[in-house]
Structure 1
Amino acid sequence: MPSCVHDAALLCKIGALRSFALDKIYYWRERASGMSSLAYFMAKDTIDHFNTIVKPIVYLSMFYFFNNPRSSIWENYVVLVALVYCVTGIGYTFAIFFQPGSAQLWSALLPVVLTLIATQQKDTIIADLCYTKWALEAFVIANAHNYTGVWLITRCGSLQSNGYDISNRSLCLWVLVANGVIFRCVAFFCMVVFQKH
């Protein structure tokens, strides 16, 4: 599961960089003529919601049948949609705040570092601040829900070894979505206040 979270986050974050990195000249020209920055930002984000819905389907069409997890495609899809929404907001922030080369570097490094923190320092405050911890927990819980009978021992062992609670599935999804909203606000703030776009 860590590789699933890392790969999906990396690909979607780099894909989100294009939303705000390619048309800076057009944005400044239109803004100078009186266009609303909020309307521009919301329009770009709304168009990207199509990718937020479609990318998890494409990813699951390959990942699901190779790994054959116990959780259903629908359960994995819901987690991936929340994860893609979260990392897209981070990608917006990087695209607006950094130059294109630095934004790509940060987009590649951040999932690796946060995945290491989430898997190596599970019970720390730093891990709780990492979106990767919540995505990993959501995937493990989705799998654990489908263990029955004698496999309940395996489920308990899996949850206990990772320090996860099976009742936290909704919390994990809400934290991922909240991260996406927060990073969108940060990206908009950088675009307007620091004139980074």
Structure 2
Amino acid sequence: QEVGKQRLRDARIQAVDYLILLLAGACLGTIAKVSDESFGAVGYTYTVIAISLLCKIAALRSFSLDKLHYWRESASGMSSLAHFLAKDTVDHFNTIVKPLVYLSMFYFFNNPRSTILENYLVLICLVYCVTGIAYVLAICFETGPAQLWSVLLPVVFTLIATQDKTKGFLSRFEDFCYPKWAMEAFIIANAQRYAGVWLLTRCGALDKKGYSVRDWALCLYVLIGFGVVSRIVAFNFMV
């Protein structure tokens, strides 16, 4: 109940978040036109970075603004697990709504071949993933450094994930970069809509990136897994 009242007081901030997402969706959807050769990879690269930045910065507020309050309540006997789950449960509203807000503009202006449902499912998993990472940053760092890390990580991880087939250490590290799985899910969903004479192009483009059309569900599971693991890590750091 206390967490719910706090979020009602933050309604204005939430409204600003949604407005920024609308503007980001419209701008990125207009700038990044779908290319049949790349299956809209440019637009999805922008999407992963934008959603990661905006949702991470917003999720930092869940734990960075009331650390003193939590420590005081925890010392008086409040359950840390209940506090963490309450914060996370309330944030699930944003996990569901923010992808819809962004897609309402991005999908209209960009018009990819994949369905809006496929894009929505990928974005839900992506937001769930980055929200968990933001919890870790908010709990481990002060507000300033946490915001810097929230900006740096999506950019660096996305640059690594958008490389063509890599080898050695970078190839192994790429599997731990969540943008790689989000990008793969977006591109596979788009590529599956190509048929006929585009099949050869589709196979060549996916092979160049090391993707497989059978891995769409796997990408979503990995993103959810990142979100679950990051929440476990965040809770352990909190207590």
Give the TM-score range, shorter chain: over 0.9
- 1:93 matched to 2:142: no
The answer to whether the 8 Å contact 1:83/1:135 transfers is: yes
Structure 1 distance, partners of 2:223, 2:173, is 15
**Partner amino acid, structure 1, of 2:162:** T
User: Using the alignment, how far apart are the partners of 1:48 and 1:127 within structure 2?
Assistant: 28
- Counterpart pick for 1:135 among 177, 182, 186: 182
Structure 2 segments unaligned to the other structure (5+ residues): 1-43
Over aligned residue pairs, what C-alpha RMSD do you find? 1.1
Superimposed CA distance per residue, residues 46-78 of structure 1 (whole angstroms, 9 cap, x where no aligned partner) = 000000000000110121122111101000000
Which residue in the other structure is 1:29 paired with?
Answer: 72
Picking from 230, 234, 237, the partner of 1:183 is 230
For these two proteins, the number of residue pairs brought into alignment is 192
CA contact (8 A) 2:165 2:208 kept: no
User: Which residue number in structure 1 is paired with residue 7 of structure 2?
Assistant: none
Determine which structure has greater relative contact order: mean sequence separation of CA pairs < 8 Å that are 6+ residues apart, divided by chain length. 1
Q: Which moved more, 1:76-85 or 1:23-32?
A: 23-32
8 Å contact from structure 1 (residues 64, 73) kept in 2:
yes
Contact 1:9–1:84 at 8 Å: present in 2 too? yes
* The one of 55, 77, 94 aligned to 1:12: 55
Cα–Cα, structure 1 residues 122 and 132, in superposed 2: closer, same or farther, change >3 Å?
A: farther
Partner Cα distance (1:93, 1:5) in 2: 19
* 1:149 and 2:196 are equivalent in the alignment: yes
Taking structure 2 as the reference length, the TM-score comes to 0.78
1:134 CA displacement: 0.4
Show CA shifts across 1:108-147 (max 9, x none). 0000000011112644101111101000000001101111
Assess, with a 3 A threshold, how the Cα gap between structure 1 residues 50 and 112 changes in structure 2: closer, same or farther: same
TM-score, L = length of structure 1: 0.94
Whole-angstrom distance in 1 between the partners of 2:75 and 2:199: 62
Alignment map for 1:156-175 (pairs within 5 Å): 156-175=203-222
Distance in 2 (CA, whole Å) between partners of 1:96 and 1:15 is: 14
Query: Aligned-pair distance for 1:161?
Result: 2.1
Alignment identity in percent?
A: 67
